[in-house]
Amino acid sequence: MSLVGTRVSMVALPFFVLTTTGSPEKTGLVAVAEMLPLVVLKVLGGPVIDRVGARRVALTCDWASLLVVGSVPLLHEAGMLSFPAFLALVAVAGALRGPGDAAKASLAPTLATTAGVPMERVTGLSSTVERTASMLGAALAGGLVAVLGAANALAVDAVSFGVSALLLAWALPAGTRAEDDPDAPTDDAPYFEQLREGWRFLRSDPVLVGITVMVALTNLLDLAWSAVMVPVWGVERAGGAAAVGLLFATFSGASAVGSLLAAAYGERLPRYATYLACFLVTGLPRFLVMAWDTPLVGVLAVAVVAGFAAGFLNPILGAVIYERIPPALVGRVSSLSTAACFALMPLGGLVGGFLVGGVGLGAAMALTGVAYFVVTMLPAVDPRWRDFDRRPEPAVTAGASAQ
């Protein structure tokens, strides 16, 4: 529910700014105002998640997001929403989303342990939900903005946070989580020492460092592709926005199917070989097929195969990450890793824009695809990544499969 609302806001926010100010520069400023506090608070929120519990942080952030995001259409309707006030609200919403998303993600080991299922089952279903929400949210956003207007579409985003909080409170009632156990061990170290402990653990694990760097770079390249190159492709070669929407929906839908299969069968697959094979399929081909000015039907066919392969990646990477982090450090280490993965994303649009403007769309697609191939295939020559296939012992998996 909250992811659908977030995807709605990704469309509604820029349309709201453009329709009320007419300024592309202010639209870009809003994006920075949201992303910067999101990344910073995702880093700083890790020790809080470990100290007070993921459930409490997730609920607090969802309820606060309901109030903050919901105030935008209310203040706009009352004629009391200045642009500086709007920027401040967007920044607070981003600051809440950072630790809120991190808290929900850090529940994965607890869910795997409580349900007694392999970690791939949890991360696979989580990835399926995320990709399905992306597909549905994008489609819903277009209709809401067209019918209700951008401000009212943001009201739907606000309501989604409230529904998310109610569902989470119902599914994980107080007293059923380890964080509510009075006998559970506590970490009384100072806040910044806890933060440093998470950083020390992250940088000491070569596989976690490798995953973080790789995902940060692919996120940058993916954003250059999705935010700049695909829209330019749609205008210059594919006939407009409808083709762009169809491409994204096709890729997301195929990814959801792949994630669902990963949830069902991921624990039986060799992680290292699956990682390499899936990135070979989902990486370079989708860039090259668009660089060669392939007809739309060919681009969509590649998107189906590439999206399906992409669906297996997050479940595998997520399982590896959570299994390598001690339970007491899950919040801060996963928050630090995710924040680092997000850190280069604001540069993706700039990279895509400069490449398209400098060498043209076809060459930009090809260069980005080659860079994607190099980044994702480096593990093939780095022996440390073979540790991907290390899984917890069966006895651990049955009782505490997350760690």
Question: Looking at residue 180, what is its pLDDT?
Answer: 43
Question: Looking at residue 403, what is its pLDDT?
Answer: 31
Amino acid present at 159? V
Q: pLDDT, tens digit, for every residue of 318-351? A: 888 888 888 888 878 888 888 888 888 777 777 8
| Nearest-10 crossing angle of helices 119-148, 150-171 | 150
Cα separation, 104 vs 307, whole angstroms:
24
For the chain, give the longest Cα–Cα distance. Answer: 63
Structural domains in the chain plus CATH codes: 1-170 (1.20.1250.20), 193-390 (1.20.1250.20)
Question: Looking at residue 269, what is its pLDDT?
Answer: 85
Question: Looking at residue 397, what is its pLDDT?
Answer: 37
Alpha helices in 266-329 (DSSP H): 271-282, 284-291, 296-310, 313-324
Amino acid present at 369? G
The mean of the pLDDT values for the chain is 82
DSSP state of 184: S
Q: pLDDT, tens digit, for every residue of 178-219? A: 444 444 445 567 878 888 888 899 888 888 888 999 999 998
Query: Which residues of the chain are modeled with pLDDT < 70?
Result: 11, 14-15, 18, 23-25, 27-28, 31, 138, 142, 175-188, 240-242, 391-403
Question: With contact defined as beta carbons under 8 Å apart, do 102 and 396 qualify?
Answer: no
Question: Looking at residue 393, what is its pLDDT?
Answer: 56
Question: Looking at residue 191, what is its pLDDT?
Answer: 79
Question: Looking at residue 400, what is its pLDDT?
Answer: 36
